[in-house]
């Protein structure tokens, strides 16, 4: 374990040993996880989004990947949707893209 972390956290010897013990017990990182295949959006959900005409509306998953959007949301997030990275990720766009 990097002693720099223990130094930055100002850990005493007991705390440092506890940190090392925790690190040894941690499971090894899993191999690259496969993303679940993209599921098709039910047409009724897209119809519902399109019916919302006075405000931007979109559907996202737990990772903030944009799954569907209405016309106003597509206009609001046009720079996100123009980016070639897929899936279009709202969190990545808002926090890391200067165009946001």
Share above pLDDT 70 across residues of the chain, in percent, rounded to a whole number: 85
pLDDT digits (tens, 9 = 90+) for 17-63: 888 888 787 777 665 555 665 567 889 999 999 999 999 999 999 99
Q: Same structural domain for residues 48 and 87?
A: yes
- Tell me, yes or no, whether 16 lies in a domain: yes
Domain boundaries, position 64? 43-96
Residue 2 pLDDT greater than 60, yes or no: no
Question: In terms of domains, do 48 and 74 share one?
Answer: yes
Let me know whether 66 and 92 are in one domain: yes
DSSP 22-76: HHHHSPPPPSPPPPPPPPPPPHHHHHHHHH--SS--EEE-TT-BEEEE-HHHHHH
């Amino acid at each position: 374990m990097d002693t720099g972390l223990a130094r930055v956290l100002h850990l005493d010897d007991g705390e440092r040993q506890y940190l090392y013990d925790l690190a040894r017990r941690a499971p090894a990182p899993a191999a690259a996880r496969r993303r679940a295949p993209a599921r098709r959006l039910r047409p009724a959900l897209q119809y519902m989004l399109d019916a919302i005409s006075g405000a931007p509306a979109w559907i996202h998953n737990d990772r903030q990947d944009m799954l569907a959007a209405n016309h106003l949301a597509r206009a609001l997030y046009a720079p996100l949707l123009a980016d070639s990275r897929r899936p279009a990720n709202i969190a990545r766009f808002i926090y890391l893209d200067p165009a946001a």
